[in-house]
Amino acid sequence: MSTMQSALRLRHFPASFFAMVMGLAGLTISWEKAQQILQLELGLVPWLLAFTAAVFVLIALLYGAKLVLHRDAVLEELRHPVRLNFFPTLSISLLLLSIALLSSRPQLSLVLWAVGAATQLALTLYIVGDWMHGTRFQVHHLNPSWFIPAVGNVLVPIAGVPLGFVDLSWFYFSAGFLLWSVLMISVFYRVLFHHPLEARLMPTLFILIAPPAVGFIAYSRLVDELDVFAHALYFAALFLTLLLLVQAPRFLRLRFYLSWWAYSFPLAAVSIAMMVMYERTGTVLHRDLAIGLLMMLSGIVLLLLVSTVTAVLQRRICVPEQ
């Protein structure tokens, strides 16, 4: 590949690549939780964590190079009504890595959590402010990727509470829940009464699962009791998971886009939520469903990795949009 071609592909390297890290980190945390509840030590988690960290560093370096060499392209991405919402995948990746490292490297976890939480708040304030005052947004721009800023805020308590930041964790949880409540109505209105999502955005429907699933996990950190609100979050996540899984034939007909990574993190989140519910209730069904979903998730992530590498080699990614 010539230097000019390499520079052109770097210019079109999207921030949404960090969704790979979200999926891989979600898989890592899911396996760690599964080993904990099954009382097994398979030696898999350190390898998954190392691979996830390596992918994060690679993507961060490439996007950093884009920021230095093609700053105008980054600003263009920030001004795009859809791509804008993928920037918090960076801060979410940091937060997920902090969760994955919480038990083994608490000091590093604290650093990643602090940077991730601060970046998440800054991006949320910027993006929501842009939603409020931007004149370029139209109803057809609205899609489930708009949930990404909300999900990032709800993630903060999962490591924040064990690290000792309880009040700050409540602040982030409340902000995320507020955004999710508003966007849930807006996104369903757009999906039901306007033009269908274009094919490349169809996988983002799985992001609908993430806010209640992550919300349940975070709320279980904040509140010891399995109360009515916790049940509502958990079963909302299960309903949305079922709603989307029964539509699998629609998703299987789609050609590969980078947005396919939207399948991974929400499924990891609901799998972990099931394991947390099993810990709280002792109901074996929750555990069995979680393990079954984790097996499916592992296969999906492997498929996503192969498909992504193939698409990169065939130069179908990091190219101008058609």
CA 153 to chain centre: 11
Sign (positive or negative) of CA dihedral 179, 182, 186, 191:
positive
Phi and psi torsions of 224, nearest 5°:
-70, -35
- Condensed to tens digits (0 to 9), the pLDDT of residues 116-131 reads 999 999 999 999 998 8
How far is the CA of 187 from the CAs of 89, 208, 281, in angstroms?
Answer: 19, 9, 33
Nearest to 169 by CA among 99, 88, 246: 99
- Condensed to tens digits (0 to 9), the pLDDT of residues 49-108 reads 999 999 999 999 999 999 998 899 899 998 888 889 999 999 999 999 999 999 999 999
Sketch out the chain's domains with CATH numbers: 3-313 (1.50.10.150)
Alpha carbon distance 10, 90 (integer Å) = 17
SS3 per residue for 115-152? HHHHHHHHHHHHHHHHHHHCCCCCHHHCCHHHHHHHHH
Structure tokens at 313: 């080699």
Residue 320 predicted with pLDDT over 80: no
pLDDT band (50, 70, 90) for residue 7: low
Query: What value does the mean pLDDT take over residues 151-174?
Result: 96
Phi and psi based region of residue 164 (left: phi greater than 0; alpha: psi -120 to 50; beta: remaining) = left
